[in-house]
Structures are given as structure tokens and as C-alpha cells.
């Protein structure tokens, strides 16, 4: 059984637009995988998961909070 999490996240971009105001958004996520950032050499940069309307990647340094449901 996969767990769902409520994640407060400050994305660099939201719905295709730059998040100039650093607004935080709440996502209901089923984490599916962890990711690396090859460009910067980060071996554990964040995670990806299923959200209501598709998939999304989340960087650890932009996560504000995670709560298990």
C-alpha cells in the first residue's frame, strides 16, 4: 500500500510561470520515486510522485513540510 502525503512546497515555477513571490502551495502526493540532479552532482535531490492531475517532481530544498495521511 502506497502512502499519501500532504506537502507544503515553494516551487521555482507554478503552472508554467516563475514563482516570483515564493508562494507556497499544498500538494496531495503519492511518492513514487527519489531523484538525483546530475547537473549539480546531487545524489539525493528530491522525489517525484503522483498528484491529482499527473506527476510532479519536488526538490528537498523547497519542501516546507510533509505530513503523512
Q: Where are the domains of the chain?
A: 4-68
- Over residues 1-11, the mean pLDDT reads 88
pLDDT digits (tens, 9 = 90+) for 25-64: 999 999 998 887 777 777 778 999 999 999 999 999 999 9
Which pLDDT does position 2 carry in this prediction?
Answer: 67
- Do the beta carbons of residue 68 and residue 13 sit within 8 Å? no
pLDDT of residue 65 exceeding 70: yes
Amino acid at each position: 500500500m502506497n502512502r499519501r502525503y500532504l506537502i507544503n512546497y515553494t516551487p521555482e515555477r507554478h503552472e508554467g510561470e516563475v514563482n516570483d513571490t515564493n508562494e507556497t502551495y499544498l500538494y496531495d502526493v503519492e511518492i513514487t520515486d527519489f531523484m538525483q540532479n546530475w547537473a549539480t552532482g546531487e545524489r539525493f535531490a528530491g522525489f517525484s510522485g503522483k498528484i491529482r492531475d499527473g506527476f510532479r517532481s519536488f526538490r528537498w530544498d523547497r519542501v516546507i513540510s510533509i505530513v503523512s495521511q
